[in-house]
Chains A and B, each alone.
Chain A
């Protein structure tokens, strides 16, 4: 069980991982559309304006391909192992399954309204002058509730990042500092690239 949760790619990779991963991307897009959520970045999940399902599908594909593409280039550059592209892209697609769980959680009736209410109340409390400290104790409880409600989503995103890193390390057979720094660098680069591409996508939609 532990292997399936934290090291699933020891058991599954290649075409099967790719197929399952693409199905998860599609399902995430459908559920996110229904809940008014956007996956507008490799590790992002936000509420946003209502858009057709193809936009969410495109967001999912952009996120997956940006990270997969960058990690593929890094792996080819740094690793001496002759790894298969299908393993890297397959594991990176399947690594996104916690995002589906996060979307299902966010679809719980009433939850999105609560999050929006707390966020709006706190945003309204922000002073115009940025040098002033915001923290009025009246909003401390709101902040705590918001953190508590968001915690499962943060855990799922953390889990997803772990799975992405595990897939990358296993497929490229990189170890030590090489895998840590190249993955972090790749994730940051992919986040920026996906944000830019999704910005253009939203303009076109």
Chain B
């Protein structure tokens, strides 16, 4: 399956989901749905979050697996957290 695009190739704006299709009966639902928060991250950041979950949230384990230092992994995570805060400001 192709990677879901998150940015408009023309103006770099955010893409919204306007149609969903049932894979079983092909029923189509149309509307204006915002992409989930994690889907709005770059593919690299999404891969990082996936790896973070697989390693049970252990930055040490991630650092060992990726061959980088603990602070490097920590900073990458902080960067993603900052992006998530910008996307969805806390109430």
Contacts and interface: CB of A to CB of B under 8 A. Distances in A.
B67, B68, B75 — most chain A CB neighbours (10 Å): B75
A181 to B, nearest CB: 20
B72 A170 contact: yes
Interface residues of A, number: 15
Interface string B56-86: 0000000000011111101100100000000
B86 to A, nearest CB: 15
Nearest to B77: A81
A34 to B, nearest CB: 33
A12 B75 CA distance: 14
Contacts of A81: 74-75, 78
B67, B68, B69 — most chain A CB neighbours (10 Å): B69
B69 A11 contact: yes
A10 B74 contact: no
A68 to B, nearest CB: 15
A121 interface: no
B68 A170 contact: no
Interface string A1-34: 0000000011111100100000000000000000
A17 B78 CA distance: 22
Contacts of B68: 10-11
Given A81-B78, A173-B75, A87 B67 contact: no
A118 interface: no
B30 to A, nearest CB: 43
A173 B78 contact: yes
Interface of B: 67-72, 74-75, 78
29 contacts: A9-B69, A9-B71, A9-B72, A10-B68, A10-B69, A11-B67, A11-B68, A11-B69, A12-B69, A13-B69, A13-B70, A13-B71, A13-B72, A14-B69, A14-B70, A17-B69, A81-B75, A83-B71, A84-B71, A87-B69, A87-B70, A87-B71, A170-B71, A170-B72, A170-B75, A173-B71, A173-B74, A173-B75, A173-B78
Given A10-B68, A13-B72, 15 more contacts: A9-B69, A9-B71, A10-B69, A10-B72, A11-B72, A12-B69, A13-B69, A14-B70, A81-B75, A83-B74, A84-B70, A84-B71, A87-B69, A91-B71, A173-B71
